[in-house]
Amino acid sequence: MAVGDVVNGLGAATSALTFTPAGSNQILITQLMGYDNWCYLTDGATPAYIGFMQGSTGNNDPQDKICKIFINNTNYLNMAAPTQLSNGYTGIQIK
């Protein structure tokens, strides 16, 4: 992958999702998608709360968060298993 490339991923249904960029790569996450689950920035030992993906809107629509989250190989993205559907993220490689 190169600087400027789109980066995205989807987890298996009702499974947790972790995205750790390789080596010295840095990624700007621009959107998170999920359903009734927590999202964290973590170093593998300490989680920092990003937000809760609320799925109980009355119409059972999956939710998303527009965001600017910079991640690297040290501090990366972790999304807990959703109650339904799949987790996902999209962003761009910046280094």
- CATH code: domain of residue 74: 2.60.120
Tell me the β-bridge partners of 18.
Answer: 78
The residue whose two tokens read 């750790």 is: 20
Range of the domain at 68: 6-93
69 assigned to some structural domain: yes
35 assigned to some structural domain: yes
Query: In this predicted structure, what is the pLDDT of residue 29?
Result: 95
Main-chain dihedrals φ then ψ at residue 40, nearest 5 degrees: -135, 155
55 assigned to some structural domain: yes
More confident residue, 55 or 81: 81
CA angle 8, 11, 17 (to 5 degrees): 90
Q: pLDDT digit string (tens) for 5-37?
A: 999 999 988 899 999 999 999 999 999 888 878
62 assigned to some structural domain: yes
- Is the Cα torsion angle 31, 60, 38, 83 positive or negative in sign? negative
Number of domains observed in the structure of the chain: 1
Query: In this predicted structure, what is the pLDDT of residue 1?
Result: 81
Contact (Cβ atoms closer than 8 angstroms) between residue 10 and residue 48: no
1 assigned to some structural domain: no
CA 51 to chain centre: 10
74 assigned to some structural domain: yes
Q: pLDDT digit string (tens) for 29-74?
A: 999 888 878 889 999 999 998 877 766 555 545 566 778 999 999 9
